[in-house]
Amino acid sequence: MGVSLAWIGVQAMAAKDVQAALGLVETGASGGFYDFPIAGVALSNGYYLLTAKPCEHAICSERVLSELSSKASVVACSIEEHVMFMSAALWCGGKEVWSVQHRGGDYGDTDLVVKGVLPENFEEVRAGCFAAQEAGGDSIGVDYVADIPLLLAKSMVGYKHDETNTEIDENFQALRQEPTGLLASATRPKWKFW
């Protein structure tokens, strides 16, 4: 069974401010990111990381990303391992700066949709993943190209859901959504295609 997850990294904005804007409150429970429907943790690099299940969670909706990014830079990532859909985007000043999607499924292992002003390391990451795919990924059933969005997001936030990170692995705080804030009125992301 694969992971279905959405996460955002909000730069230089206090956890309580992000929670208040979204309409989230801490429950007092802590653990791994996948232990809770919504969870958050402050990273030592100045990002506040929020994870939510499933991958089409409203946390990655245009409304939420636009509003949050009007106050701070936001990296958004969506992961649906069941169909190998992966996406990452950077939002600043209320607008999407760039996005990279691997749609997986019927689109094939080498599918990649890019928009905007891509980060400087995009070509290096893309070349490495495509080289790994061509060197045998297809023959062993591995989709290296799907990692491109995840690696770009990691290069900014320092987080990748399928890697061990002893700083944060069991330190996520469980969050509960309240009937106020951006999440209460947000809709699912526009990319949902199934």
If you compute the radius of gyration of the chain from its CA atoms, what whole number of angstroms results? 16
Where in the chain are the domains? 4-183
Span 26-63, pLDDT tens digits: 999 999 999 999 999 999 999 999 999 999 999 999 99
Distance CA 144, CA 123 (A): 15
Please list the alpha-helical segments (H only) found in the chain: 15-22, 62-69, 122-132, 147-157, 182-185
Q: What phi, psi does 166 have (nearest 5°)?
A: -60, -25
Strands 85-92 and 38-42: unpaired
Residue 187: band (very low, low, confident or very high) from pLDDT cuts 50, 70, 90:
low
Name the one residue in this structure whose structure tokens are 């636009």.
66
Q: What number of other Cβ atoms are within 10 A of residue 108's Cβ?
A: 13
pLDDT of residue 193: 46
pLDDT, position 109: 82
Phi, psi of 113 (to 5 degrees): -115, 120
pLDDT of 77 reads 98
Q: In the structure, what pLDDT confidence band is assigned to residue 2 with cuts at 50, 70 and 90? A: confident
Reduced to 3 DSSP states, what percent helix, strand and coil does the chain have, rounded to the nearest 5? 30, 30, 40
**DSSP H/E element including 99:** strand 95-102
- Per-residue pLDDT of 132-167, as tens digits, reads 988 875 666 778 999 999 999 999 999 999 999 988
> How far is 10 from 19, CA to CA, in rounded Å?
11
Helix (H) / strand (E) element for 79: namely strand 74-80
Residue of 189 and 50 predicted with greater confidence = 50
- For 69-87, the pLDDT digits (tens) are 999 999 999 999 999 999 9
pLDDT at 21 over 70: yes
Whether residue 68 contacts residue 60, with contact meaning beta carbons closer than 8 Å, is answered with no
pLDDT, position 139: 65
Over residues 84-126, the pLDDT tens digits come to 999 999 999 999 999 999 998 888 888 999 999 999 999 999 9
Q: DSSP secondary structure string, 100-125?
A: EEE--GGG-TT--EEEES--TTHHHH
Single pTM value for the model: 0.92
